[in-house]
């Protein structure tokens, strides 16, 4: 699904302006724009603006539909979000599968992600409008998610589905540390730590190697290795002024 | 990661009781319990109860730490949540990779998911406490997510990670370095390198942090961190005999 292309978010019987505003914000975060309120419980949602940070365009473009049927009428596919306890005789999708289905179905036309009201969720009657249900798996101690938070989880997944495998950040790897530099570093570490009475002069290797191994594991860049080398050059000069030419 | 087993949620410089309560609720949704507020901007969070539906046990068990360093001191691995614009010269993890890393690292000890404050997020200094950063990919129109909603996305993924790939392989690893020990090491490195004229006393942080990051990346064991700490204690004593009590 190209973010925003075909997904409609439908909030059914929503009550809280805060939730409405927060849903607008997360829609903007993830590139979705079509929002429909169906059969809202409260009519005055002006308070939603406070939470709809940088997403006022979604709030002002929102449609209000008197019934769920009207809200969904131009969609080809609807997934209803529900909690485990509401699912009767239907196998719910996982959130990831639902995001995948929404993306697939969006090639055919508009698709909707439907959320129920804060107090009762979606009724059996509401669910008859949905081709599929989805359940966000939660723990028994608190199975019910906040509306704005469940929308965050699901819109994130829909967005990811659209992005799929696109590289998030083009990583340009810096050149790795050359062994010559690491060898020089090891020599300075030994000198400084011997002069500081940290290493046992009879058998310095064991502890020194243990420290060196931690730096190997860090997969230093050449730049970082040079930084460490330079630090230990200074330390050697300071600890044992006569013994090193820096 | 068995949900809740080792993950600590750390909220740094949080301002809004509503957000705090909402984070508690979503932690309960996904089976997490350890919550630490570090350096909270507001001290009275009693209003959080309203949003902490069926998650009062998390709110009442929450710890408050005066500094970020203290909040993180018993953790072996920390991922900081940040926005694209804050990431400088570090490659952030995707949310999915971060959830995977948290699960892997949790075999070594406590791990933390760190969130910045509502207004400014995490500072560069805050980010030096993090082995990794993560960015939730968002759209340009509104790149900044609400705190409670980003926690919903990430805790969902951590929960999924625990459910899907469950017992990550009960590896018998050596205990990882605690951040408290790494913090002490950082202090000694600074002292030694300042006394040795390696660090610029006007601006020691930049280079110091670069060196610290290489040690973070090495995923030191507690034993190795203590070895480095001990080495630098000796170096401080040798370079600046008067300034340290070792």
Domain membership flag for residue A55: yes
Q: How many angstroms separate the Cα of A219 from the Cα of each of A177, A222, B131, B178?
A: 8, 9, 14, 21
Question: Of A17-21, A219-223, B61-65, which gets the smallest average pLDDT?
Answer: A219-223
Indicate if A159 and A185 belong to the same structural domain: no
Identify the band that residue A88 occupies on the pLDDT scale cut at 50, 70 and 90.
Answer: low
Task: Give the C-alpha separation, A82 to A92, whole Å.
Answer: 9
Q: Answer yes or no: do A198 and A118 share one domain.
A: no
Select the residue of B22, B135, B139 nearest A149 (Cβ to Cβ): B22
Query: Which pLDDT band, with edges at 50, 70 and 90, does A221 fall under?
Result: confident
Contact in structure between B119 and B126 (CB atoms under 8 Å): no
Partner residue facing B91 (CB), from A159, A171, A230: A171
- Running along chain B, 246 residues long, what does each successive block of 10 average in pLDDT? 72 95 96 94 88 93 95 92 74 93 88 93 89 92 94 96 52 78 94 95 92 88 95 94 57
A150 CB near a chain B CB, below 8 Å?
Answer: yes
Cβ A145–B26 below 8 Å, yes or no? yes
- Do B122 and B159 belong together in one domain? yes
Domain co-membership, B12 together with B93: yes
Which of A112, A133, A163 lies at the terminal end of a domain, its last residue? A163
Q: Which residues of A touch B234 (CB under 8 A)?
A: 193, 196-198
**Do A183 and A151 share a domain, yes or no?**
no
Question: Sorting pLDDT into bands at 50, 70 and 90, what band is A86?
Answer: low
Question: Quick check: B149 and A26 CB within 8 A?
Answer: yes
Region A124-140 average pLDDT: 89
Residue-number span of the structural domain to which A234 is assigned: 179-239
Q: Which of residues 172-231 of A touch B (CB under 8 A)?
A: 192-193, 195-198, 207, 210-211, 214-215, 217-220, 224, 227-228, 230-231
Q: What is the CATH number of the domain that holds A116?
A: 3.40.1280.10
CB B240 within 8 A of CB B197: no
Instruction: Please choose, from the candidates A73, A80, A15, the residue with its C-alpha nearest in 3D space to the C-alpha of residue A48.
Output: A15
B-chain residues near A150 (CB < 8 A): 152
Output phi, psi for A180, to 5 deg. -60, -45
Q: Cβ separation of B139 and A28 shorter than 8 Å?
A: yes
Give the residue among A21, A149, A45 at the shortest CA–CA distance from B142. Answer: A21
Whether A93 and chain B come into contact, CB under 8 Å, resolves to: no
At residue A2, the pLDDT reads 53
Interface membership of B9 toward A (CB under 8 Å): no
pLDDT of A169 reads 39
In a domain, B173, yes or no: no
Domain stops at, among A134, A163, A192: A163
Within-domain flag for B222? yes
Closest CA relative to residue B142, chosen from A4, A38, A196 = A4
Q: Is B18 helix (H, G, I), strand (E, B) or coil?
A: helix
Residues A30 and A76 in one domain: yes
With respect to residue B172, please indicate whether it lies within any of the assigned structural domains: no
Q: What would the two tokens of residue B148 be?
A: 């409670």
Q: Smallest CA–CA separation between A123 and chain B, in Å?
A: 22
- For residue A172, is it within any domain? no
CATH of the domain at A189: 1.10.8
Is A171 a domain residue? Answer: no
pLDDT at A6 over 70: yes
Closest CA to B221 of B186, B187, B172, B188: B172
> What pLDDT does residue A43 have?
83
pLDDT of residue B173: 66
Check CB contact of B110 with chain A, cutoff 8 Å.
no
| Nearest C-alpha in B relative to A21 | B146
Nearest to A195 among B30, B146, B238 (CB): B238
Chain A environment of B237 (Cβ under 8 Å): 196
CB contact under 8 A, A210 and B227: yes
Is A187 a domain residue?
yes
Q: How far is CA B137 from the centre of its chain?
A: 20
- Out of B104, B135, B164, a domain closes at B164
Residues B79 and B130 occupy one common structural domain: yes
- Pairwise CB contact (< 8 Å): B238 & A196: yes
Instruction: Assess contact for B97 and B107: CB atoms under 8 A.
Output: no
In angstroms, the CA B68 to CA B66 distance is 7
What does the pLDDT read at residue A110? 84
User: Which of B239, B5, B113, B142 is CA-nearest to residue A240?
Assistant: B239
Q: Is residue B137 part of a domain?
A: yes
What average pLDDT does the segment A102-131 reach?
A: 88
Whether residue A26 is found in the same domain as residue A124: yes
Per CB-CB distance under 8 Å, the chain B contacts of A214 are 215, 218, 220, 224, 228
**B224 lies in the same domain as B118:** no
Same domain membership, residue B218 and residue B106: no
Q: Does one domain contain both B234 and B135?
A: no
Q: Does B214 sit within 8 Å of A224, measured CB to CB? A: yes
Q: In total, how many domains does chain A have?
A: 2
Domain co-membership, A47 together with A125: yes
């Amino acid at each position: 699904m190209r973010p925003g292309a075909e997904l409609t978010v439908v909030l059914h019987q929503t009550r809280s302006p805060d939730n409405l505003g927060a849903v607008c914000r997360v829609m903007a975060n993830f590139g979705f724009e079509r929002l429909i309120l169906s059969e809202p419980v409260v009519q005055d949602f002006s308070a939603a603006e406070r939470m709809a940070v940088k997403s006022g365009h979604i709030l002002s473009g929102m449609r209000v539909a008197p019934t769920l049927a009207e809200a969904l009428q131009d969609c080809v596919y609807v997934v209803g979000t529900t909690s485990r306890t509401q699912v009767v005789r239907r196998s719910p999708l996982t959130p990831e599968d639902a995001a995948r289905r929404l993306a697939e179905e969006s090639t055919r036309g508009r698709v909707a992600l439907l959320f129920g009201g804060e107090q009762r969720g979606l009724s059996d009657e509401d669910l008859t409008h949905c081709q599929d249900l989805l359940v966000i798996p939660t723990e028994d101690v608190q199975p019910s998610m906040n509306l704005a938070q469940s929308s965050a989880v699901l819109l994130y997944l829909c967005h990811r589905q659209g992005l799929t495998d696109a590289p998030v950040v083009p990583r340009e790897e810096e050149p790795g540390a050359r062994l010559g530099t690491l060898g020089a570093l090891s020599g300075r570490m030994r000198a400084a730590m011997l002069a500081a009475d940290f290493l046992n002069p009879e058998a310095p290797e064991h502890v020194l190697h243990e420290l060196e191994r931690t730096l190997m594991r860090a997969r230093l860049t050449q730049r970082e290795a040079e930084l460490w080398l330079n630090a230990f050059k200074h330390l050697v000069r300071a600890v044992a002024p006569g013994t090193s030419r820096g």
